[in-house]
Structure 1
Amino acid sequence: MNVLLSTAFVLTWSSGFIGAKLGAGSASAVTVLMLRFLPLALALAVVALTVARSSWRGLGARDLLRQAVVGALSQSGYLLTVYYAIQLGVSSGTTALIDGTQPLVAGALAGPLLGQYVSRTQWAGLGLGVAGVVIVTAADATSGTDAPPWAYAVPFLGMFSLVAATFLDRRSPAPVPPAVSMTVHCATSAVIFTALAVGAGAAIPPAEASFWVAISWLVTLSTFGGYGLYWLILRRSGVTRVNTLMFLMAPVTALWGALMFGEPFGVQTALGLAVGISAVAVVHRGASSAPPAVRSQREAPPATPSEYVPAQSASRKSA
């Protein structure tokens, strides 16, 4: 099941970069993001008030406010920088490559901020993943783009925004069911992107069919698939494992971009893909080398609610 979830996560998360490329040709970033989240927020609100009403019990205003901040960082801040970079001319593959530095940052901070055990083997895997990202980045840089040099700093802002959201959520004193967090995150993003679109005079969507194909793509694959699976795997497997999967986003997106948009994909990119896959295998193997006390703590029966894993509960006790 973990392999299937991981594979689905890599494909659906990578689809977000492709969807951003699809939408960038017909509308501004804020227009695409507004139309991506407005209907989604309304649909989730209806579900929250009917099917998932019990999930909201016991949650206070502070819990919901924290989730709103997490949503603003992990969705609004992260996605706006990704879409803006692609709109500036940075290729979807390059944007994913820059975003691929996230695991190193998250892995370095997991120990001091969350008290999570990171083995030497896992650190070796993280280093291997960085090597894969560097290989693919070097290949992409030689192809050249029309984007201004400063545009390549924009995806880094999004990467730090997602890392901050990840640690803020993991240090939350009370567990929040996924149905609630997804609803609050999407509602927050809908408000932010609508305000930005109205302020920029870009709230009216274009009539092109390609625009609505991009919106359908992003809502179905990227939000429900990629974003939902990110938090699910995070809560089941921990920060280090889920962020190590991010190493696969760059080469997978580069391959996807080559097939759909004719972006370059050569031997170096293929080598980076192989190195990234090896990095994931090394980190997952490193998890089994954790001290017995750490493994038993992770494998113990979870506290309520049942969908939260012991690793998360343990990390919150250390906060």
Structure 2
Amino acid sequence: MNIPARAAKSGFVDSATPLLFVLLWSTGFIGAKFGLPYAGPMTFLTLRFVAVLALVLPVALLMRAPWPDSPRAFLHIAVAGLLVHGVYLSGVFIAIGLGLPSGIAALIVGLQPLITAFAAGILFGERVSPAQWAGLALGFTGVVLVVAGKIAAVPGGALFAMLVPAFAALAGITAGTLYQKRFCPSFDLRTGAIIQYLPCLVVMAMLAYLWESMEVTWSGSFVFALAWLVVVLSVGAVALLNLLIRKGSAVNVASLFYLTPPATALIAWIMFGETLTGPALAGMALAAAGVWLARQRS
């Protein structure tokens, strides 16, 4: 009698995990918007990584969480962390700090599923079916519709400088996801977080020291943004991402990032009263349909 109940519970968890990941991951752009007026991007990330390590390290030690069994495993986990957290987050934070609307940043990162689909076939031999390709194309079209209105509002002369770090973020999250899927898909989430965030802290602190004043204007908004990004994003959403990479194909995981811009737009509508146009609503529907298609088994 317990077997069907367990199977149903496992099925519910498997279905809910991607949706919860999208919801939590989407709030990262909102958190950056809240916090960046009070600190430079590298300084903000340095504080974020310090707080994450202060939270996760005691938990891992008290629970005697297992560490990787070889220096090679340590290295692979650290490299994946530098790409996913270091390169991706710094690119997004710098782009938004320069004035790039969060929707456009999400659109650029939204190229990830298409790039991942090409690379997954070469690296992992994953077959992408025609229906999945159609889903990837449909999802990207939906993302474009969601953020199209915001693109026109960006001054053309400043756009290039904003786009460079955004595309660096795209390269980081794409390479990091593929690298982790290839070399270290499974590791303990507690000790793995320490291994991934520690080198990111060192790099961000060095960059903040070299490029920024490292001054912080402490306020309620900044503390809230920092706490949210630490607990909800760096601990919660990243743990879910690691679980998804462990269980799913690279294309299936990457396709979820199509839902980030629509989810971010909905959150901005709820929190800031930002307008949702007809094309944006249509884009949300297309993005959702595209993700559904892309996640179908070959």
| TM-score between both structures, scaled by the size of structure 1 | 0.83
Aligned partner (choices 168, 171, 192) of residue 203 of structure 2: 192
Equivalent position SS for 1:205: coil
Per-residue Cα deviation, 1:241-269 (whole angstroms, up to 9, x for no partner): 11111101011112323433454431111
Question: Quick check: 1:40–1:219 contact (8 Å CA) kept in 2?
Answer: yes
Aligned partner (choices 90, 96, 114) of residue 106 of structure 2: 96
Aligned partner (choices 24, 39, 43) of residue 12 of structure 1: 24
Q: Is 1:236 the counterpart of 2:247 in the alignment?
A: yes
Equivalent position SS for 1:25: helix
Question: Quick check: 1:13–1:225 contact (8 Å CA) kept in 2?
Answer: no
Matches of 1:110 and 1:43 in 2, distance apart? 34
Question: Quick check: 1:41–1:190 contact (8 Å CA) kept in 2?
Answer: no
The aligned runs of 1:71-90 (5 Å cut-off) are 71-90=81-100
| TM-score between both structures, scaled by the size of structure 2 | 0.89
Partner residue, 1:122: 132
Q: Is 1:135 the counterpart of 2:145 in the alignment?
A: yes
Aligned partner (choices 8, 27, 50) of residue 39 of structure 2: 27
Per-residue Cα deviation, 1:103-139 (whole angstroms, up to 9, x for no partner): 1111111111111232221111111112112222433
CA gap of 1:83–1:147, structure 2 versus 1, over 3 A, is farther
CA gap of 1:23–1:132, structure 2 versus 1, over 3 A, is same
Question: Quick check: 2:113–2:255 contact (8 Å CA) kept in 1?
Answer: yes
State the one-letter code of the partner of 1:113: L
State the one-letter code of the partner of 1:122: Q
CA gap of 1:140–1:121, structure 2 versus 1, over 3 A, is same
Q: Is 1:37 the counterpart of 2:56 in the alignment?
A: no
Matches of 1:277 and 1:190 in 2, distance apart? 35
Structure 1: gaps of 5 or more residues:
291-319
State the one-letter code of the partner of 2:293: V
Matches of 1:79 and 1:255 in 2, distance apart? 22
Per-residue Cα deviation, 1:7-31 (whole angstroms, up to 9, x for no partner): 1101110111110000112111112
State the one-letter code of the partner of 1:123: W
Structure 2: gaps of 5 or more residues:
1-12
The structural deviation recorded for 1:42 is: 2.7
Per-residue Cα deviation, 1:21-64 (whole angstroms, up to 9, x for no partner): 001121111121111110211332223333133x215x211211
Matches of 2:213 and 2:125 in 1, distance apart? 44
Equivalent position SS for 1:280: helix
Question: Quick check: 2:39–2:214 contact (8 Å CA) kept in 1?
Answer: no
Q: Is 1:52 the counterpart of 2:61 in the alignment?
A: no
CA gap of 1:43–1:182, structure 2 versus 1, over 3 A, is same
The aligned runs of 1:164-313 (5 Å cut-off) are 164-172=175-183, 175-284=186-295, 286-287=296-297, 290=298
CA gap of 1:98–1:147, structure 2 versus 1, over 3 A, is farther
State the superposition RMSD in angstroms.
2.0
The structural deviation recorded for 1:203 is: 3.2
Question: Quick check: 1:140–1:264 contact (8 Å CA) kept in 2?
Answer: no
Question: Quick check: 1:91–1:145 contact (8 Å CA) kept in 2?
Answer: no
Question: Quick check: 2:39–2:215 contact (8 Å CA) kept in 1?
Answer: no
State the one-letter code of the partner of 1:142: A
Equivalent position SS for 2:183: coil
How many residues align? The count is 285
State the one-letter code of the partner of 1:94: I
Matches of 2:22 and 2:220 in 1, distance apart? 27
The structural deviation recorded for 1:184 is: 0.9
Per-residue Cα deviation, 1:69-88 (whole angstroms, up to 9, x for no partner): 11111101000010111111
Matches of 1:7 and 1:91 in 2, distance apart? 24
Question: Quick check: 2:100–2:154 contact (8 Å CA) kept in 1?
Answer: no
Question: Quick check: 2:135–2:294 contact (8 Å CA) kept in 1?
Answer: yes
State the one-letter code of the partner of 1:6: P
Matches of 1:15 and 1:143 in 2, distance apart? 22
